């Protein structure tokens, strides 16, 4: 089962929003999704408790590096996708989650392109490769992209990242009032009133496109993590 980790050591990059959008869309497609809220601030959990999303999204709270592997293994038959929402910091849990991922999504705010937090994740991924031989698949997810940003500018950003050998997801997550309200009010995009929230249909279409790309890259029921030397306990010095 694919394990998708959403990581950027910078706070506010759009990690939890991406986790919420992805979990809801995958569940809408009928998949069983388990989300590990790996942020002690519990933003995903707070949204989850309030939204009570339909479909099969289960939540694991109070995740520790030691518990992560055990929990994923125990729940393997019960989930099609695992999503790990990390805190905006670099700690042992960040290192462990990365080493255990089928794919790491690194949200980078499209407008500011403040890439420092993303670079820390890329450095950790390089360190894992050096120490365990496992090259963790990863992509930058352009997040909170201004809807006015042109396709041309986005292609330019993707080109710059590609020059540095970093893949970017084709679908950016666009900055939308609907996504902010979804998060702030603790609901899903499908619970918002289209009469009251502008461009709700566009936000929903964007979320579907984002999830469709993830499902193409990581089809459910494919174990995409190659065998590797035990990553656990890895990164103790991280």
Ligand X SMILES: Nc1ncnc2c1ncn2[C@@H]1O[C@H](COP(=O)(O)OP(=O)(O)OP(=O)(O)O)[C@@H](O)[C@H]1O
In the complex, the residues that contact Mg ion under the rule CB under 5 A are: 15-16, 43
Residue entry with tokens 């940003």: 149
Closest among 209, 199, 195, 160 to 179, alpha carbons compared? 199
3-state helix, strand, coil in the chain (%, to 5): 45, 15, 40
Which span sits near ligand X by CB under 6 A: 5-13, 120-128, 209-217, 228-236?
5-13
- Binding partner of 12, given Mg ion, ligand X, none, CB within 5-8 angstroms per partner class: ligand X
Number of residues located near ligand X, criterion CB under 6 A: 18
Contact characters 83-112, ligand X, x per CB under 6 A: -----x------------------------
Task: Pick the binder of ligand X from 7, 35, 36, 43 (CB under 6 A).
Answer: 43
User: Residue 39 or residue 80: which is nearer to ligand X going by CB?
Assistant: 39
Handedness of CA 187, 192, 198, 203 (dihedral sign): positive
The HSE-up count of residue 180 (CA atoms within 13 Å, CB side) is: 10
Residue number closest to Mg ion, CB atom: 16
Q: Which of 180, 208, 213, 218 binds ligand X (CB under 6 A)?
A: 180
Nearest Cα neighbor of 151 from 168, 172, 169 is 172
Give the span between the Cα atoms of 131 and 65, in whole angstroms.
Answer: 18
Of residues 154 and 220, the one with the C-beta less far from ligand X: 154
Give whichever of 38 and 96 is closer to ligand X, judged by the CB atom. 38
Calculate the CA 236 to chain-centre distance: 23
Q: How far apart are CA 224 and CA 219, in angstroms?
A: 9
Q: CA–CA separation, 80 vs 77, rounded Å?
A: 8
Q: Which is nearer to Mg ion, 43 or 234 (CB)?
A: 43
From ligand X, Mg ion, none, interface partner of 173 (C-beta below 5 to 8 A by class): ligand X
Residue ranges binding ligand X (CB under 6 A): 11-17, 39, 43, 88, 143-144, 173, 175-176, 179-180, 183
């Amino acid at each position: 089962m694919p394990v998708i980790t959403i990581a950027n050591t910078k706070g506010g990059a759009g990690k939890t929003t991406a986790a919420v959008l992805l979990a809801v869309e995958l569940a809408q497609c009928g998949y069983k999704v388990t989300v590990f809220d790996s942020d002690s601030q519990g933003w995903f959990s707070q949204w989850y408790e309030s939204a009570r999303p339909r479909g099969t999204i289960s939540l694991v709270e109070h995740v520790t590096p030691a518990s992560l592997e055990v929990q994923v293994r125990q729940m393997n038959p019960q989930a099609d996708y695992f999503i790990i929402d990390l805190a905006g910091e670099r700690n042992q849990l960040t290192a462990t989650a990365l080493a255990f991922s089928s794919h790491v999504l690194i949200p980078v705010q499209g407008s500011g392109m403040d890439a420092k937090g993303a670079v820390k994740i890329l450095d950790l991924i390089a360190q894992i490769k050096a120490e365990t031989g496992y090259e963790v698949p990863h992509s930058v997810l352009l997040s909170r992209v201004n809807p006015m940003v042109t396709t041309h500018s986005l292609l330019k950003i993707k080109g710059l990242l590609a020059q540095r050998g970093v893949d970017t997801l084709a679908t950016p997550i666009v900055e939308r009032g609907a996504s902010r309200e979804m998060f702030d009010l603790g609901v899903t995009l499908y619970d918002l009133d289209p009469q009251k929230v502008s461009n709700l249909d566009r936000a929903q279409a964007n979320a579907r496109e984002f999830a469709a790309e993830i499902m193409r890259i990581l089809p459910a029921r494919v174990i995409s993590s190659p065998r590797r030397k035990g990553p656990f306990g890895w990164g103790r010095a991280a």
